[in-house]
A and B are shown apart, each in its own frame.
Chain A
Amino acid sequence: MDNMDKDFNQKLLNKIEEKHLAPKPRWRFLLKNWVIWIAGILALLLGAMAVAVFLYLFRHNDWALRASTDKGFWEFFFLTLPYFWLVFFGLFVFIVYYNFKHTKKGYLYPLPFVIIGGLLACLFLGLVFYKVGLGRIIDDVLGRRMPLYGEIFNPQIDFWSAPEEGRLAGVVVGATEGGDLVLLDPSGKEWEVAFMEQVGEVRLMMPEIGVGMPLKIIGEVSEKNNFQAKVIRPLGAPGHGFFTRPRSPAGVRFDCRPGDCRPPDFSGPQSYLRPHRFVN
């Protein structure tokens, strides 16, 4: 060994000694690997959940009712597409990809393999989650708790909350003396929904209407708080959690299962509105 080599070695040892350096413990590297794997698996599960909710919203978008609105197929498609869940899905597929690439051997796999693998794993698991009903559970929970649910998580609510354009969504809170429905919309506004005799062409696409039932209605605003219904339909599965939120000025809370609600201290008409009042 020549002197230059000895100098270098001595300098290196001095530096290690001066700075009290020592090899980092093995558990830190093991922990880092575990964190990468666990974060990747979590991202995979979250991405799959996004797929499950997307499928649930997409499947129950009431495509048949589109023809009764003034929207063409593509306009309806893009206005009700749950973009949030698509973005959420994309984000978590990216995180799956990123974490996989940062595992010990992740760099050996080509980019398309990792991306397509992550996509397929998320889609497959998402389909399983959807089949076991996780999409519905997540939608219900978010509907009950999350702010901006109708604007972000479930655009169907926003789409059906446009009375000026002939679309009204809300929950039945009672009936007037004249037998019209009283509907509470997501903004807390009460509507009297007239049908049959006045319009003469209401299509009731459900067996019966009860208090606490979320509905979507196609028609037109006749007066400030009056809506003339042409088509009445139950809201469909997505968004039911959302309509159990307390909204009425009296603070009536529909703390119940979707479609089976009875406000605990509701003082209005309790009886079901019978379907014979409507023209099918």
Chain B
Amino acid sequence: MAEEKIALNVAEKSDEELVNLALKNRDDFLYLVDRYKNRLTAYIRRLTKASPEDAEDILQEIFIKVYLNLNEFDRDLKFSSWIYRITHNQVISRHRRLKARPEGYAVDIDDAAARRLASDIDIAAATDLTILKENILKVLSYLVPKYREVLVLRFLEEKSYEEIADIIKKPAGTVASTISKAKVEFHRELKKSGLKFHS
């Protein structure tokens, strides 16, 4: 009962309030961990071919980095943009260390995200959602990381252009043009792969 009350209380708190709590009490950092753990795991696995175990290792590195740099968090920025930025940098630096190119891994996407992506990229609507989602993930994995990343952030993580600009640290205009090129690339890869979006 008491645990439920605390959980309810925490759910009402903003990210910024949780940051303040974490700065005062180390254990309260876990509230932020719980809030972002699943989202970031999915994001990591959409950007990389990390196994669940590797993704967990990366996630641990990320949360340690977040914890160490809590005082650097700029309140002008959304906390989610800041934590996604750290994740983005960590994934890139890990792959640099391993000298491997990040490759997308098939993590399931929800129906709405699949439909949104299909509609925005102007793919003929599929009757079978399972095929649509599978093929979207396949084509995404064929894309070069910079294109895959913006499409993942835009359509699967549902970030605005401004948020993406804050995450990948590029001007909003560059983000818009990268997304536009990424859509063209998506079409090209789709044609090349011969995948069909109809059942």
Instruction: Tell which of B22, B64, B74, B165 touches A15, judged by Cβ atoms closer than 8 Å.
Output: B64
CA distance A158 to B33 in the complex (A): 67
* B34–A23 touching, CB < 8 Å: no
Residues 68-102 of chain A: 1 if any B CB is under 8 Å from the residue's CB, otherwise 0?
00000000000000000000000000000000000
Of the four ranges (under 10, 10 to 19, 20 to 34, 35 or more), the interface on chain A belongs to: 20 to 34
A-B contact count (CB 8 A): 62
Residues 176-211 of chain A: 1 if any B CB is under 8 Å from the residue's CB, otherwise 0?
000000000000000000000000000000000000
In the assembled complex, A11 has its CB within 8 A of some CB on chain B: yes
* A21–B169 touching, CB < 8 Å: no
In the assembled complex, A250 has its CB within 8 A of some CB on chain B: no
Q: Nearest chain A CB to B76's CB is how many angstroms away?
A: 8
In the assembled complex, B37 has its CB within 8 A of some CB on chain A: yes
* B170–A107 touching, CB < 8 Å: yes
CA distance A5 to B23 in the complex (A): 22
Interface size on B, residues (CB 8 A): 29
Q: Which of B65-73, B102-110, B120-128, B189-197 contacts A (4 or more CB under 8 A)?
A: B65-73
Residues 217-234 of chain A: 1 if any B CB is under 8 Å from the residue's CB, otherwise 0?
000000000000000000
CA distance A110 to B173 in the complex (A): 8
Given contacts A5-B34, A13-B27, contact A23 B171 (CB under 8 A): no
In the assembled complex, A67 has its CB within 8 A of some CB on chain B: no
Instruction: Tell which of B30, B70, B74 touches A23, judged by Cβ atoms closer than 8 Å.
Output: B70
Binding site for A on B (CB under 8 A): 22-23, 26-27, 29-30, 33-34, 37, 56, 59-60, 63-64, 67-72, 74, 76, 165, 169-174
